[in-house]
Structure 1
Amino acid sequence: MTISVPDDVADQLEAIPARQVSAYVTDALRRRRASDDIRAALFAAGHRDYDYDPEGAARRLANGRVSSEVREAAIARLAESTGRSVDDVRADLDRQAIR
């Protein structure tokens, strides 16, 4: 397989030992796929991407609570896409909400 990448990416790949480039690219693509799956699950749960805006985020959080049904559906989808249990995903999200 042959791919073309911008010079800055090529420089990063050239810094990796030749025998490890395929593993590095494979890991990067798998992480990207997991990230895309999580982003899709969050989108399905009513979350949107926003520019960095802490004050606006606080307003949206106060005004945009999702229903428990939508939250549980998103948690189930996240658990499935990450291979984790629903209880673990829920516990992580609850811990993050407290912070």
Structure 2
Amino acid sequence: MSKKTIPFKIKNIEQDYSLREEGIVLKDLETFLEISITKEFPTPGYDLEVKEIIEKDKGKFEIILSIIPPREGSILLQVITYKTILIEVDRYHLGNGPYTFNYKIDNF
């Protein structure tokens, strides 16, 4: 099967300092699927982007993330930070469930 790119919309990006668990959480909304991705970083100043979502196989998807480190020479607090991206995908593009999502970081 050839890889199919799935369209998505970024709804929100949050930064938090309280303990969170890294990973992916799916929330089923009738016509949409909300996907929340949380990643831990050693300091503030990192950015997290979703480059694309690819259907690897029927019902199996990979979210390609890009991590942008802080500018070199930046003075930052040494405090663990959590970035969470909330994306929305129209279920029309996913087909019938169940769905499996994982992520891959392409530049870190």
Question: Could you say which structure has the higher strand fraction?
Answer: 2
Higher relative contact order (CA 8 A, sep 6+): 2
Please identify which structure carries the higher helix content: 1
Q: Please report the TM-score for the alignment, with normalisation by the length of structure 1.
A: 0.23
Report the TM-score, using the length of structure 2 for normalisation.
0.22
